[in-house]
Amino acid sequence: MKRQDNRRDDFESRLLGQLQAIVAARGDEASRREAVAPAPRPSAWRRRAPRLALVGALALAAVAVALIITAGGSKSSTAFAVEPRPGGGVTIKIFSLEDASGVEAALMEAGIRSQVTWLDAGMVCKEPHYKSSAIHSSGGGTFGGMTMGGPGAITISVGDSPPSRIGEYKRGEISHAEFQSSLAERANLNLDPEDFRPDQTVIISGAPVPYDGDPEGGSITKFDVAEGKVEPCEPVPAPPGAGTNAFALTQEGGPGYTPRGDSSLPAGAAATALHRAAAAAGSSDTALAPPGPGKFLYEKTKVVELEGWLPRGEGKGPKDHPRYFVQINDPKARYALVPRTRQVWTAPSGKTHVRETLGRIRFLSTADQRAWEAAGSPPPWAFDPAEHPIARDASGRLEKDYPRESFRGRHEFRYLGRLARLPTESEVLRLKIEHRPSSGAPVAASPATSARGGGTVEGLLEILGEPLTPPAVRAAAFGALAEIPDLGFERGVTDGAGRRGDAIGWTREAGFGNRYIFDPRTGELLSDAEFIYDAKAADYPTVPDDTPFRETVHLRAAVVGTIR
């Protein structure tokens, strides 16, 4: 599965994204109503037509483009194909890294100015050859560029993005995994000509990489946005180490999902542990039903995050409110693991009460620990009494209580209730997650190294992470995992609460890995973590390898009658 490495955005962009999701959901509702009972277009729209003549050249170009695309057929060469999309716009599918000027022309015709360069293996464009810029996309957020790698065609869609399924996700009609795969079904890159300023250009450069025994079976492609003048690309050899891109694609070739485990373990070790977990889960007598009126679903977790302490709050905040901890990597920061216990009570209405208690902050080095204590042990911003209403619990730890609404609001338990209707037979469950029909001959499980297999693993682990999943479905999920070849598996791993179990893991991007720890004796999911296994590659040079980045330890789930 190809990944996107988008740049950081800010409060205003995040808020815009959330608000647009709300508006999009309302828009979907309006469309649905129109489909059911279409009304004649109000005359206001016809009145708008003469106004178009006063609008700028870009709009007229958009009209012209729309006419060309809908009037003409598809243009293709053996290297790429251009297909019109319903409702306007095109999808450009790039099958091989040839005919860069043809791709440029196709993009230009669709309203996007670009510079496309296909390079030989191991080469990159000499930088800098343009001024980096960003576009603010109508989908919310900022796009500054991305690098992607893997086998298969590169798809670029130009024009309106396909409708988001976030409304269905929020109403509990589809799961998180389904929502994520709807995003993945979109093209690798979505470009809307209207998001571009006239002086902006998309810079595309790509080179083949070996994949699966084929010396040019995959590619690494870099997308960027430039403003102003763009110089021609001058190919130069890639610097050493650049053969590994953000997706752990190495010169030897490799997929987007790289399972990570203990390769010294015998071949059937993972399956044995997972079958054991399946049996334990299936025979469990603790089953949670969604809470009825007056009751709450109670979940207790411990979240441990890597945060950096800046002793003098350098450069951040006004002088009477220094920012002690930062969550981004900063070479001046001294790193600590910041644990907080999180208790959430969720009512059937979706309203929640959250209580977070700050635990003991442990710095990665004792010298830093002492320095922080000498400075008065300042808490992170989220627990700073000067910033929030913070109390202390009976042991004196900083604690805050606040109400919230669950992500799906009143649909929360409707979504979680769907888990009870999942198949209880492993193969059937797996195929359902993979969106494949399950009638007929059994279909072999895709390996965890493939995009499909990796995505299936994530989907199954998501099911196991939900507290309301019934025992029979949990057993099926473990059973399905046991059938997936090439899982990254480790034995004897310790979670953030000191409990031991086995783990399934993989690499997601440079230096970062994911690890799900489960207990085969009880069939419980103990924790899920993102951790830094290669600090240099992850760009955290002052942190040792194998440091947790963010771990959520599952401590308790129950249905209770009160918030206490």
Partner 1 sequence: MEIEPALPNPPSSLSRRLSVVAAREHGVGPEQLPLIGIDADIFGAFYREHIDRVEGFVMRRVGDRERAADLTAEIFIAAIDSAHRYRPALGSPRAWLLGIARNLVAGEWRSRDRHRAGEERLRGSALLDSDDAARWDARIDAASRSRELYAAMSRLPDGERAVLELVALDELSLAEAAEALGIRAVAARVRLHRARRKLRDVLKAPGEPDAHHPTARKEGRS
Question: With binding defined as CB under 8 A, does residue 417 bind partner 1?
Answer: no
Residue 435 has what DSSP assignment? Answer: T
Q: Which is nearer to partner 1, 10 or 373 (CB)?
A: 10
- In the numeric block, the tokens 């973590």 are attached to 529
33 belongs to the binding site for partner 1 (CB under 8 A):
yes
C-alpha angle 452-467-483 in degrees, rounded to nearest 5: 35
From CA 484, how far away is CA 491, in angstroms rounded?
17
DSSP string, 147-177: EEEEES-EEEEESSPPPP-HHHHHTTSS-HH
Q: Does the footprint of partner 1 cover residue 194 (CB under 8 A)?
A: yes
Structure tokens belonging to residue 541: 């040079």
- Rounded CA gap, 247 and 378, in Å? 37
Closest to partner 1 by CB, 63 vs 236, is 63
CA R_g for the chain: 26
Q: Closest separation between CB of residue 356 and partner 1, Å?
A: 13
Q: Per-residue contact track with partner 1, 59 to 98, x per CB under 8 A?
A: x--xx--x--------------------xx----------
> Judged by CB under 8 A, which of 4, 20, 96, 284 binds partner 1?
20
User: Does 491 engage in binding with partner 1 (CB under 8 A)?
Assistant: no
Q: Which is nearer to partner 1, 229 or 321 (CB)?
A: 321
- Say how many residues touch partner 1, by CB under 8 A: 64
Q: From 32-40, 183-191, 202-210, 221-229, give the range in contact with partner 1 by CB under 8 A.
A: 32-40
> If we measure between CA atoms, which residue out of 61, 57, 59 comes closest to residue 109?
61
Task: Please select the residue that binds partner 1; options are 7, 18, 370, 556, rule is CB under 8 A.
Answer: 18
CB contact at 8 A, 327 and 288: no
Nearer to partner 1, 141 or 218 (CB): 141
Burial of 322 (0-12, 13-18, 19+ CB in 10 A): middle
Considering only the stretches 28-36, 431-439, 471-479, 507-515, report the one whose residues sit in contact with partner 1 under the rule CB under 8 A. 28-36
Among 71, 267, 374, 386, binds partner 1 (CB under 8 A): 386
- Which of 16/97 has CB closer to partner 1? 16
**For residues 260 and 445, what is the distance between their CA atoms, to the nearest angstrom?**
19
Q: Which is nearer to partner 1, 21 or 510 (CB)?
A: 21
How does 117-139 read in b/e, with b if 16+ C-beta sit within 10 Å? bbbebebbbeeebbeebbbbbeb
Contacting positions for partner 1 (CB under 8 A): 10-12, 14-16, 18-24, 26-27, 29-31, 33-34, 39-42, 44-45, 48, 51-52, 55-56, 58-59, 62-63, 66, 87-88, 136, 138-140, 160, 194, 316-318, 320-323, 325-328, 378, 381, 384, 386-388, 404-405, 409
